[in-house]
Amino acid sequence: MKPTSEEVDRYLIKMKRRGERTLSLLGKHQEFIVAMNTDVGKEILSDLVREHELLLDKIASLDVTDEEKMQYVIVRKMLLLWSEKIAAFENRIKEIKQG
């Protein structure tokens, strides 16, 4: 289930610049898009996305500690890793259903 343009607009209005930066960074990764379009992906990744937004906002404002910088790196890697795993799982399920 893909988000509608209205849902994306509401998200961007609510999250402002932080939401734009998060979507821009994560949207470059096809696996993230596939994963977020699944029920499992939304459930697993939603907390990581929120944490990513908060940390990215701190980094952008230059009001960030060294620990928060390390947390950002870890959260980003986890988002991409889990997105890849969820997307691979979903793609395999589709292949099985089609084959």
How much is the average pLDDT of 27-38?
Answer: 78
Instruction: Report in angstroms the alpha-carbon separations of 72 from 25, 46, 55, 82, 94.
Output: 13, 15, 6, 15, 33
Confidence class for position 3, pLDDT limits 50, 70, 90 = low
Confidence class for position 26, pLDDT limits 50, 70, 90 = low
Domain boundaries, the chain: 5-98
Q: What are phi and psi of 3, to 5 degrees?
A: -70, 145
pLDDT at 95 over 70: yes
- At 33-86, the pLDDT tens digits run 788 888 888 888 888 988 988 898 888 888 899 999 999 999 989 998 999 999
Q: What is the per-residue DSSP string for 2-21?
A: PPPHHHHHHHHHHHHHHHHH
